[in-house]
A and B are shown apart, each in its own frame.
Chain A
Amino acid sequence: MFNLLPEIEKKNIMREYILRRYVVLALFLFALGAIASISLFPSYLLSSVKVVEVEEQISSVKSSAIFKEAEALASALNLTNQKISALKPPEKYVYLGTLVSSIVEKRGGSIRLNGFKYNRGDGKNHGVITVSGIARDRESLSAFLTVLKEEEKFLEVNLPVSNFAQDRNAPFTIDIRGAF
């Protein structure tokens, strides 16, 4: 039958056939899209509800009494920490009494001390203690200097060479620097 039709009719029928196939395909895709959209809808509802739920949870936590006290608690803690830090002595803190006694103990019988001048270090600069006195003789002074240099607390022990000028009853001034 189809072959009996004129050529133009054949083309029309073929075109119509192709169009109808596309229509079926389009309807199939539409059905697929519609089913997919409908199946997404519960998820959409669930997500929306979940957002509201979490927002309520956050607002209930944030409106709790303890949250309102947060700033006061933080400032109380901060103040306590500052006080504890202020009470903490600096590293390698040495008491003046300990420092003086460690010098006095080392002097022996040939050294007599008549003055101490002490400046505590400030973190940037080392502490300085200046010791003055009278040495019986040069050997005693030299021995005293050596003993002082052996002390771990003292980083620098300086005695002007001119202090060795006098052999007997030599007045001296020793500068001691250290982490104190």
Chain B
Amino acid sequence: MKNISNTSKILIASIFLVILVYCIYGLLFWTIKGENEKVSILSNEAKIDLQKDESLRATKVSLSNNKDSIENIDSHFLAPDGVVGFIEGLESLGREAGVSISVASVTVEADSKNKNDFKETLRLRVITTGSWSNTYYFISLLENLPLSAEIKNATLSLTGASDKLAFTGASVSSRKPAAEEKWKGEIELTVRKLK
């Protein structure tokens, strides 16, 4: 009986050892699995970081190589302190085009939706008086300014036509405008200005 009892004890101890060793095995297995998963995730992260590093370096080189072009973009916007110079430029353009010009209003509007916007809008209302060809030439000059500018509204009206453009006689003859005849222009111009 004593031998049988000892064998049982040995069996119980063996079973305990088996359970213990397989617990250790399982623990090792799950730890390695977890570590491998972590390595995989970290490797992907490292790969992404390396790619980001390369793209950042390329971006820096590109920004440096295109510095002049980027500065050139700025020249298409009115400088923050360039309003006075711009108005004087407009008056000079008017003289060049042969129209008399007066600036009726000047306002600066910031984009209310985007407070961090780099730009704001300079809005000018310009009144011109001159012949049709000079007024047309002035409008063409305004539209071809090397700035981000556009004409939003404009009213061009003929003043001083004593004959009210009436056709006289049966034939279509070309009409000669009278000396006092002028075209009055009211032009609303917007220009994008750097803040």
Contact = CB atoms under 8 A, between A and B. Distances in A.
Interface of A: 12, 15-16, 19-20, 22-23, 26-27, 29-30, 33-34, 36-37, 40-41, 43-44, 47-48, 50-51, 54-55, 57-58, 61-62, 64, 66-67, 69-70, 73, 76-77, 79-80, 82-84, 86-87, 95-97, 100-101, 109-110, 112-120, 133-134, 136, 168-169
Nearest to A137: B167
A69 B60 contact: yes
Contacts of B76: 87
Contacts of A82: 117-118
Given A70-B56, A109-B174, A110-B167, A120 B28 contact: no
A118 B179 CA distance: 26
Nearest to B174: A109
Given A82-B118, A96-B154, A100-B139, A26 B46 contact: no
* Main SS at interface, chain A: helix
Chain A CB within 10 Å, residue with most, of B43, B77, B153, B156: B156
Contacts of A33: 18, 21-22, 24-25
B139 to A, nearest CB: 5
Contacts of B21: 30, 33-34, 37
- Please give me the 10 A-B residue pairs with the lowest Cβ-Cβ distance, nearest first: A26-B14, A47-B35, A33-B21, A109-B172, A112-B165, A114-B158, A54-B42, A136-B167, A134-B165, A115-B157
Contacts of B153: 118-120
B166 interface: yes
Given A15-B4, A118-B154, A120-B150, A168 B63 contact: no
22 contacts: A16-B4, A19-B11, A22-B11, A27-B14, A33-B25, A41-B28, A50-B39, A57-B46, A58-B49, A61-B50, A66-B57, A82-B117, A87-B76, A97-B143, A100-B136, A110-B167, A114-B157, A114-B165, A117-B156, A118-B151, A119-B152, A136-B172
B95 interface: no
Which size class do B's interface residues fall under?
A: 35 or more
